[in-house]
Structure 1
Amino acid sequence: MKHRIQHSTGLRERLPDYAARLNTTAEALAEAYDWMLAHDVAFESPSRDGTVTQISCLDIEQRIEHPLARRFFAALRDEMPCKLLPAYGKNWPTFVDRCRRMWELVYNILINKIPSHNLRLAWLRLGGAKIGKGSAVWRHTEVIGIESLTIGDDTCIGWHCQIDARSGLVIGNHVTIASHVLIVGGGHDLEAPEFWSVSAPIRIEDYAWITSRAMILMGAHVGEGAVVSANCVVSKKIEPYVIVAGQGAKPVGTRVRGLNYKVGGKGLFTLLH
């Protein structure tokens, strides 16, 4: 199977560092890495920033026959900001995953419509989300992949957003995500007849502002204090304090530095939000 999730760029150049951590030689780890590429455990693809390494988005550690490749896959998996899907079958990880999917289904059908910040956040936290102090997720916002969602302090996600955290979504402190924003962490391989899934983590840094109807796609990294304008589609790195707009998320200006405000998403007058 070739369902995969992006790990990083330039992994092959960092193999000596991983070899030291795994207490092996760089040559042995390079051989194990090549084995992973040949057996659909890891994948490489070119990009404008270098060679991107992806790994299987299924937790297939126990199925990997090569001992060192098995250890290397586990090390790469543990660096991901998300939980990989289980190797489905009649096993405990599959049962836990099914329970999580039911938990988020109840949230998206019922809980996210209840006018209580505390109840909604408690449901998300019990489902595995990490949400900081003073943050808010307003009503009618849907969340997928609750267990792979991380939100910092004093961050606000507005009305009617769709948040896909299955590939790992990390949102910093004092972030404003306006209403009707789409955050999509995955897609499908259009060059594969089997329609394999492809995905990548998304990161939104402190004080970023995502305005209404923007779309943040897999692999996006919105820098500190950056602004994504309305109806803009972002699938790349946005530098800190840069304002992007229009087709291709082109820079149109810069934002003032030294930001120190609070979003305040759960004040007295947002009771019904």
Structure 2
Amino acid sequence: MYNKDTVSGPSFSIYNRLFRLIWQIAASLFFAYTPKQLHGWRSFLLRLFGAKVGRGVHVYPKVKIWAPWNLQLEDQCGIANGVILYSQGKIIIGRRAVVSQGAHLCTGTHDYTDPGFPLITKPIRVGDFAWVAAEAFVHPGVTIGEGCVIGARSVVTKDMPPWMVCSGHPCRPIKGRVEEELKQKRFLEPVS
């Protein structure tokens, strides 16, 4: 971090803020108003700004991304319109994972015990084949396990286990998700 006293100044350097301004201009001109089908173009633009983007990724035009250089999007993942990727820290979305409309993944918070209220960033990881449903909120530092489903409007404050359906405020595991059923449906075949 650039400044540990957010009362007296910004948390990030002038270089970081300038680069984010350039990204915001590029995103508003070349990303946000593109046709839905132009996933390849948006992936190219994200790569241009430092994101690691796998093959067959679907990022829709109305996704809000704070800093693309802190994104890692694995093969065939999908990020729906209205998603907020508040990537002050690293966000990793796994292979064939889905983040649905209005979900908010937030990697930044503040240390409320310090009078300077310094920014704290912690990475978020969404495992392969996981689904973060509509309008869920994921806190900094959370890992969502492989194949995990996060229910709509859940508030995820801690790590969620693999192959479970989880929901609530705070989010908690509800029931198992059967991995074998997905394998039979060929969802877990390797990406070619």
**What TM-score results when the alignment is normalised by the length of structure 2?**
0.83
Give runs of aligned pairs for residues 104-119 of structure 1, distance below 5 A: 104-110=23-29, 111-115=31-35, 116-119=38-41
Residue 103 of structure 1: how far off its partner (Å)? 3.1
Give runs of aligned pairs for residues 1-273 of structure 1, distance below 5 A: 2=4, 88=13, 95=15, 97-110=16-29, 111-115=31-35, 116-258=38-180, 259=182, 260-261=186-187
In the aligned structure 2, how far is the partner of 1:100 from the partner of 1:133? 26
Please give the per-residue CA displacement for 1:97-120, whole angstroms capped at 9, x wherever unaligned. Answer: 345213321244232221122222
CA separation of 1:113/1:127 partners in 2, compared to 1, >3 Å: closer, same or farther?
Answer: same
**Structure 1 residue aligned with 2:8:** none
Listed as ranges, the gaps of 5+ residues in structure 1 are: 4-57, 59-84, 89-93, 263-273
Asked whether the 8 Å contact 1:103–1:127 carries over to 2, the reply is: no
**What TM-score results when the alignment is normalised by the length of structure 1?**
0.60
Letter aligned with residue 149 of structure 1: L
Please give the per-residue CA displacement for 1:154-197, whole angstroms capped at 9, x wherever unaligned. Answer: 10000111101221011110001111110100111222222211
Letter aligned with residue 91 of structure 2: L
Letter aligned with residue 123 of structure 2: P
Q: Aligned residues, how many?
A: 174
Asked whether the 8 Å contact 1:202–1:218 carries over to 2, the reply is: yes
Asked whether the 8 Å contact 1:175–1:205 carries over to 2, the reply is: yes
* Secondary structure in structure 2 of the residue aligned to 1:230: coil
**Structure 2 residue aligned with 1:10:** none
* Secondary structure in structure 2 of the residue aligned to 1:237: coil
Listed as ranges, the gaps of 5+ residues in structure 2 are: 6-10
Asked whether the 8 Å contact 2:160–2:172 carries over to 1, the reply is: no
In the aligned structure 2, how far is the partner of 1:223 from the partner of 1:234? 12
In the aligned structure 2, how far is the partner of 1:118 from the partner of 1:244? 32
After TM superposition, the runs of 4+ consecutive aligned structure 1 residues lying more than 6 A away are none
In the aligned structure 2, how far is the partner of 1:105 from the partner of 1:2? 25
Residue 218 of structure 1: how far off its partner (Å)? 0.2
Say which structure is richer in helix.
1
Q: Which has the larger radius of gyration?
A: 1
In the aligned structure 2, how far is the partner of 1:150 from the partner of 1:241? 22
